[in-house]
Structure 1
């Protein structure tokens, strides 16, 4: 559509203009020429010194966020799934090719490396210009200090300025329902590493900023400054408190602690709200306007998640596999649409009232319009307690299990399914995102007639999965949903090959007559409701309405408060308005406007969709009596006619006591458009990335799927 191209061009121009402001911000041109001219027009009694930052640094991103929702809505309406675009993919494949694989940074593509280099260049440019302008202008000279003391203070101050640049980008990757990330083909899960990088850089800069000022106060005999909460300028105490919370969050976020002591990381990271409050109290209202877009959009997303989590999801059944894997099946409204590789956050109060964990959605919203399923691998105390509680009363009708959900969240489109060949490499529970891909393609293939023209429409699929024990093979049962009968056959026009590797067992170690799957059913409860879209149909448009209305309300109320409350005080006998109070007003108005606009539209949409929610029916599904995972070694003995999901078993080859030779598998992939997706242990992802980034990967379009935060 022409309008989509026009909108995309407008977004690009606005974003480049926004970046230009950040580039010019530390220069003499901006400080002495642009600012003086802008103050004449923007330094009004309604916004005072905040007007410039609101126009140049806040408005552009809020404009993109609001109208980006319109773009995503139109894109969703016009999208034609599964249309091959090999030529386009081939031209741009080199941009997604891994060029750097490191344990600390992970897998970095050429595009990411280019943007990282430009961002580091922006930080260096800004720091150099800030110092240059400071040294060649008027240094801040306290009484009795030497010039080098003043220069040292200037450098310490400017390090804080640079950290503020990181905060301008910090919250975009963790805004799950973002309208910014999909515009550049990202999801919150795929871009969480950018949040980690920005967090490390900003914390390092702020720590140097804090230490620098403590050293400066020490050598100039002004240690009393550490206890100062100024009424006319920044609060030193607020900055120090913010730094204490920042260090606590920073230390517990390092991988060793995050991996082995997840609860410590999780609960400590919830201090971010207090950190933000004291950080903003330290920098002040004008600097808050420089970073407010990311925080504003994050608060909207966080409040929407809170509203959704107040509803209890209706849990239909749970499938328990001997490998310690759980599949939870929820009732959902047909309006809930999501793409493969989506994730959903789950909270079970009976296990932990505060912990939320992300899990991969294994269902297809098209194949299973009334159900949504997620896969959970028992790897920590939370999941083990869930497995034990379900297995104790499995295969019987259970009382209600109270569950709250947030999401699902995923890619805005399914363009990665447009390859001619899909090679999916997984290790252990890393197979989960590929289950949704396979189910989605099976559904689309079932809609087509089995003729020669339709067969070329769908990609050839190769699934290579590695497991530790033969019991783990049972996870292959999840490739087909619970609602399908055992007599289901794969569509003849679908090309699916499964190569399963069992690394620790040299043969099937299970009794073939053993019932591998246990199914627990839950009694319906009137307090539970099917999962519904948080904003109903046309959710992108309603999100755009929330962003636009809340931001417009914020500007209106901020102007009224400034003009009719703060301005009279400043020009009265009381003198300047308290620096921190002004900041508190701005934070309060931000939260109040977001809560009012978001809650209003949410309740309106909920009321309008209440009738539709009652139309969702419960599906009675027979409990499977056997598992296809037990048939991999004795197909001939049982007879083909008695094998559940026969075509799935026929497509599967099991290799015992062996590991997949990933380099060999990828080198044998022919064709100009081969999509290579990997999900599993870090070592496996890095090995595949190295192969795709080498000379063997000219025809390989690499993508890593990792939900390990």
Structure 2
């Protein structure tokens, strides 16, 4: 089950990307399943803890039985039969744990599991991704130890139990071997069978790794490299046979930085474009190293070898399945919606008749003013395009600056009467602070009294919880009226 977690996650994401023809409920269920891997891992960790504690109690009882500290039956079973794996009365629980196959492998796989789970904590995964990445590969040690674990045959069952009058003999251990009804019992451990349960997932895992290796070997060409002042790297890449949908993501690997590390990034390009692009913010050693390598490239030089795996599906693919879409991006979390907005622009440009969406609400929350430079030019193009087509009401967008200083406020006050915003250059002025979601949901419900509204978020968990609650609160009890469906990026 553990080995299937990373494999199933990627497989489900691939399946998710190909289920555009299926119902909304089926796709939403897949989105939920993508979040279960962490919960299952923690449940397995809890069960392992209970399992380990139970074994420690059993070892203690085995040692005490060998020393004759319990009743006559346990003493006879320990000394006259091969039921008790503790061979010497002088043995201690510590000696038994570290000198038996089952004990030693149990310690190894428990330590491996502890390191895997603890390194998955958000603070480590976000700030020390390499620690998270490499400790996760301890699953190899875990499964080798797990297969060997049963070879110690600690758990034993009685052989030829039919030759014994068990109900009579258990009360007369002193008569064992002296009367025909009560021969001395013998016990044997069962054949190790863990490999039977591991081999199937292992084959599936190896197939998945082989597929990723094939993707790794496919050449990727740089179309454009842009390093913005806000330490955000934009890569435009080309790969033969690559097909994508809005909101999907890919895994990137740069062998010049690390042969093993693959990092997920949401694509910011539209399916209608002949290339795919990603925006990468400096958030750790790998991303900073990539930016450093590309900054040092001579003018016109080709970038380092880049491998791409994917694309993988996400909930954002469903944005055009809703009559009304509410998009919420936080910081670099705007990336899937950049892809969506670009695709909208192309669809209007080509007068695509398949476009079902009639209204989009876009919210972008940023802490710093220079962050808006990432996609402000895209919004300017969309703003102009919608006005020219007489569809200014199709796209409603609100940009929120959540961090500022007094000098910035003074500058805003001086230039407040300008037609365009001083931060973004857009006609829509920037808001300061955070959205009042209660008011926003009320307004959307008022403007769309009989619509299905898809709410999409790429941002922190705190915002996700708030939006999910608001979706439930503002969905009308009458299914014919306004309904909000919450969708969140899961990778």
TM > 0.5: yes
Asked whether the equivalents of residues 501 and 654 of structure 1 are also in contact (C-alpha less than 8 Å), the reply is no
In 2 relative to 1, CA 247–414 (structure 1 residues): closer, same or farther, beyond 3 Å? Answer: closer
Q: 1:662 aligns with which of 432, 437, 462?
A: 437
Work out the CA distance in 2 between the residues paired with 1:179 and 1:271. 25
Secondary structure at 2:291's aligned position in 1? helix
Q: 1:637/1:476 Cα in 2 relative to 1: closer, same or farther (>3 Å)? A: closer
Find the aligned partners of 2:307 and 2:259 in 1 and give their Cα distance.
Answer: 10
Aligned position for 1:309: 216
Superposition RMSD on alpha carbons, in Å?
3.8
Whole-angstrom CA distance in 1 between matches of 2:421 and 2:41: 58
Partner of 2:143: 276
Partner residue, 1:448: 351
2:418 & 2:435 partners in 1: Cα distance? 23
Q: 1:678 to 1:309 in 2, by over 3 A?
A: same
Whole-angstrom distance in 1 between the partners of 2:96 and 2:214 = 43
User: What is the CA distance between 1:695 and its match in structure 2?
Assistant: 4.5
Unaligned runs of 5+ in 1: 1-165, 230-234, 513-630, 639-647
Contact residue 676 and residue 701 of structure 1 kept, 8 A: yes
The partner residue of 1:498 within 387, 391, 397 is 397
- Are 1:206 and 2:48 counterparts? yes
Q: Which residue of 2 aligns with 1:374?
A: 278
CA-CA distance at 1:474 after TM superposition: 0.5
TM-fit CA distance, 1:382: 2.2
Distance 1:189 1:305 in 2: 22
RCO comparison, higher one (Cα < 8 Å, 6+): 1
Whichever of the two has the greater Rg, that structure is: 2
On the 8 A contact 1:422/1:674 being kept in 2, the answer is yes
Match in the other structure for 1:351: 257
Aligned to 1:174: 9
Task: From the two aligned structures, give the one with the greater helix fraction.
Answer: 1
**1:274–1:637 Cα change, 3 Å:** closer
Alignment partner of 2:10: what SS? coil
CA offset at residue 442 of structure 1? 2.5
Mapping of residues 548-567 of structure 1, within 5 Å: none
Please identify, of 438-447 and 684-693, the stretch whose mean Cα deviation from structure 2 is larger. Answer: 438-447
- Take 1:293 and 1:459, find their aligned partners in 2: how far apart are those partners? 48
Aligned length: 397
Q: Is 1:216 the counterpart of 2:58 in the alignment?
A: yes
| Offset of residue 504 of structure 1 | 2.3
Deviation at 1:463, TM superposition (A): 0.7
Distance 1:509 1:676, change over 3 A: same
TM-superposition CA deviations, 1:249-306 (whole Å, max 9, x none): 1222223333333222221112122222222333577444446554443332122112
Select the residue among 473, 480, 485 that pairs with 1:694: 473
Q: Are the counterparts in 2 of residues 428 and 467 from structure 1 also a CA contact under 8 Å?
A: yes
The CA deviation at 1:392 is: 4.9
Q: Could you tell me how far 1:331 is from its partner in structure 2? A: 1.1
Deviation at 1:236, TM superposition (A): 4.8
How far apart in 2 are the matches of 1:273 and 1:455? 48
* Residues 251-270 of structure 1: pairs in structure 2 closer than 5 A: 251-270=118-137
1:291/1:330 CA distance change after superposition, 3 Å: same
Change (3 A) 1:488 1:306: farther
Alignment of 1:636-675 (within 5 A): 653-670=428-445, 671=448, 672-675=451-454
Rounded Cα–Cα distance in structure 1 between residues aligned with 2:122 and 2:383:
46
Q: SS of the residue aligned with 2:9?
A: coil
Residue pair 2:471, 2:486 contacting (<8 A) in 1 also = yes
List per-residue Cα deviations over 1:34-53 (Å, max 9, x = no partner): xxxxxxxxxxxxxxxxxxxx
Structure 2: any 5+ residue segments left out of the alignment? 20-25, 64-85, 87-92, 151-190, 478-482
| Cα 1:332/1:259, change in 2 over 3 Å | closer
Structure 1 SS opposite 2:430: strand
TM-score normalized with structure 1 length: 0.50
What does 1:90-489 correspond to in 2, within 5 Å? Answer: 167=2, 170-171=5-6, 173-176=8-11, 184-185=26-27, 191-221=33-63, 222=86, 223=93, 226=97, 227-229=99-101, 235-282=102-149, 286-290=193-197, 293-333=200-240, 335-365=241-271, 367-368=272-273, 370-392=274-296, 396-411=299-314, 414-448=317-351, 457-477=356-376, 479=378, 489=385
Shift of 1:170: 3.7
Are residues 632 and 457 of structure 1, via their aligned partners in 2, closer, same or farther at CA, if it must alter by over 3 Å? farther
Q: 1:177 to 1:319 in 2, by over 3 A?
A: farther
Q: Deviations over 1:103-146 (max 9, x none)?
A: xxxxxxxxxxxxxxxxxxxxxxxxxxxxxxxxxxxxxxxxxxxx
With over 3 angstroms needed to count, the CA separation of the structure-2 counterparts of 1:657 and 1:681, relative to structure 1, is: same
